[in-house]
Structure 1
């Protein structure tokens, strides 16, 4: 029933982004190459060689309920594009960005009803997209081919967010995380694809009522303790408890650091299937987490599957693992509470 309703929501979101980027009659357009023109209806708002100025003009002149289509490609340098409540921003061309310390190349802050059905970004941002204090926010097809920085970041120390929907997000080359969430009540993501990402592919923190389709990471977090998929900082803690409210359909992890990592009083999570191989660190590490159920899947080679705990938090409890594990080990230390293991394969097992 859960996945039927999730699929219905996914299909509805996908339908909203199937039309070609810039199709129909956008309210405001940015066109041209080298020389850029911003038009709203029959009015020309800007003509010139400054791509950032053209995009800023487009945003300024797009009202709530209106649609801005950026057809042109170019560079905004270290500037920031600040989107407004109710607007639709279609990045049809490729936006190249620079690094502005502590800021996003695109920011969506204290808004309602922003829609980004398309975005193509290159460069080395501090944050490619930075979000806080936003509700009813929708991302469609997002592609970031980066040479550093962090892809999409929801701020930790700013206002919380609610009802955030993402369709397909593909990020390569980020030096930090692909997507980092904080403080979201109601989050969905259809597909995340990460390649050669310095830290986590998808990192979720203080995020509740979440539905994630597929997380597919290759060489994410190589050489460090991060993971293709990581839950941290009380992710999934809802109304003071850990009833299941974070659902992931499938995790694929190849190489990199850890495959799945749950830590620091997170939980309330169900992962339908995992496919993890040849990780440089733990294939799976569950440490001081509560109410985590991995229902099926395979682990082949790489680091061990480990159930652990630190003394500063309550002991790990209510964990269920149903896995085939080959060519690595499964270890529980210290012993958790209410642990359920169904492990097949040739793994060496050290369980309580």
Structure 2
């Protein structure tokens, strides 16, 4: 099969023929029809993830059809339309037994711990725990964006932050996860202030329902927080750092009302150094400092129902579609020129 292969960290990947995966016992192989390009893929390419061993195939948001079924798999047939979360759970550890597969103690992640979906085929282990069947009224392109950014945004706001209709949300960083958070919040009746230095990203956030936007260019994090509060008409109820930096995390905390909820979604890789976070604000305001890491397969029905009903449309965030060759170039360019919106890869 053809795949995007990272042969050296920080060097543009190549597209070449590699061996196709065999279905693992209890798992399947998916013929990838669409997969999303995410900033997490860039972190893997840049060498920020210790789980990544070269040569490596990135990609962790996927949708397609089952191409092969391993021994011991029941209820899944070749040709079934499927997706899967980016955290693939073992199904038997203590978090899994508690229904919290997104923090599985023995998790695997395509595109990180093993070869991922920037390829014509990808393996999905333990199908009974991790495979998600797609309804007919959810497109493959939309489903490809659920595995990371939309599932993460949905669980972040609905299950972790418990955002309510009428509350105000600040989203710091309008990449894929941030734009997904804007859409999920608006679908739930919340008001949104979106923060991003890119005019195109801010325009896209407004088109997806953000009432106000803030340009943080040249501003200290305290000034960004002040601009957010001014735009929202006061401190916000919930704030999400969807980028992952010292400045965005600090600004997110500083824009909250007393007892507000901050959710850290953007990655803060240890290799880049641990950020200085103003915990005095957490203490003084009795803020809730939360984290969110994907969503288990069993929680997908609520998200899929929103998409099927037309209340949530991931395809509205797609601004570019590329093939594998385009994916290799786009991945390498993401650090210096991340662009706006979501890039969708069709192998």
Larger RCO (alpha carbons 8 Å, 6+ apart) = 2
Query: Which of the pair has more CA radius of gyration?
Result: 1
TM exceeding 0.5: no
What TM-score comes out, normalization by structure 1 length? 0.24
Q: Relative to total residues, which structure has the larger strand share, 1 or 2?
A: 1
